[in-house]
Amino acid sequence: MLLCIDVGNTNIVLGIANQDKILKHWRIRTEKEATFDEMGITVGDLLRSSGIRMEEITDIIISCVVPSLLNVLEEFSHRYFRIRPVIVGPGLKTGMPIQYDNPKEVGADRLVNAVAAYEKYHTALIVVDFGTATTFDCVSKDGSYIGGAIAPGIIISCEALFEKASKLPRVEIFTRPKNVIAKDTINAMNVGIIYGYAGLVDGIVNRIKKEMGLELKVIATGGIAPFIYKESESIDHLEEDLTLEGLMIIHKRNR
């Protein structure tokens, strides 16, 4: 079995893959000061709760955008699984040409998402990933990564709003507003958050389509994607396991 680990700034997504299928997946909070023993205990507990023995893990692949955790995860892989993990980064075979001024600047998660989306749809597309940042990644018709855009994520934008506007209460940000013209403060904030981000996505996607001169397929992924997908006019498909699928594909290409 293959253990896939995607480390983001807010969450770590883990998945177990076997025979080209994601069997189990979990999302845990990213603790940037975590030790390899803490990771070992956490992952061990998750595996046992799903009836999977640690000895059944034969391979590990890691995508990480938190530099302080990369060495921790490598040590965790050695100590608990006796496996040298595959690390997504420069020099790894992805099967996707990168048309970026400095290819090393492309976040590992962004490239993994692009690889998975193109493998699934085989057409020009945009991947919108709703994470700590909201990223837009563009893939050409021939399967090249050609760039994209980065916007502040929903969570950090909300945190800034709650922190800087002292009279505004913290709200449950994933409640769909009943009306666009709200009659109270909490609903007014929900309107701005939900419809505001749906509008941000639609606006950037439409500009990308105009610049590329193509009718692109738009794929949404990330922990918050299901909430915005329902309100966006431009997103075609929701793929919640896209990053794990991309890690599985890249591991297969480097096996």
Tens-place pLDDT, residues 212-252: 998 899 999 998 898 899 899 999 999 999 999 999 999 99
- Backbone torsions φ then ψ of 241, nearest 5 degrees: -105, 20
Total domains present in the chain: 2
Instruction: Specify whether 199 is located in the same domain as 81.
Output: no
Q: What is the pLDDT of residue 168?
A: 63
From 6, 109, 129, 137, active-site residue: 109
Q: What is the pLDDT of residue 20?
A: 85
Distance CA 86, CA 63 (A): 9
Which residues 6+ apart lie within 8 Å of 173 measured at CB? 154, 155, 158, 189, 190, 193, 194
Q: Is residue 53 part of a domain?
A: yes
Instruction: Specify whether 56 is located in the same domain as 131.
Output: no
Q: Is residue 98 part of a domain?
A: no
**pLDDT tens-digit map of 161-217:** 777 676 666 666 667 778 889 888 778 888 888 899 999 999 999 999 999 998 899
Comparing 19-28, 81-90, 101-110, 162-171, which segment has the lowest mean pLDDT? 162-171
Q: Is residue 252 part of a domain?
A: no
| pLDDT score of 160 more than 90 | no
Instruction: Specify whether 116 is located in the same domain as 234.
Output: yes
Predicted TM-score (pTM) of the model is 0.89
Judged by DSSP in three states, 129 sits in strand
Q: Six-digit token pair at 67?
A: 């530099």
Instruction: Specify whether 110 is located in the same domain as 63.
Output: no
Which residues 6+ apart lie within 8 Å of 213 measured at CB? none
Given 87, 118, 136, the domain boundary residue is 87
**pLDDT tens-digit map of 138-147:** 999 999 999 9
Q: What is the pLDDT of residue 40?
A: 95
Distance CA 70, CA 91 (A): 16
- pLDDT, the chain, mean: 91
> In the chain, pLDDT over 70 holds for what percent of residues?
96
Distance CA 155, CA 173 (A): 9
| Residue 45 appears among annotated catalytic residues | no
Q: What is the pLDDT of residue 167?
A: 60
Beta strands in 55-169 (DSSP E): 59-64, 86-87, 125-130, 133-139, 145-152
What is the extent of the structural domain holding 60? 2-87
Given 87, 121, 149, the domain boundary residue is 87
221: which strand partners? 129
Given 87, 113, 142, the domain boundary residue is 87
Mean per-residue pLDDT, 64-76: 94
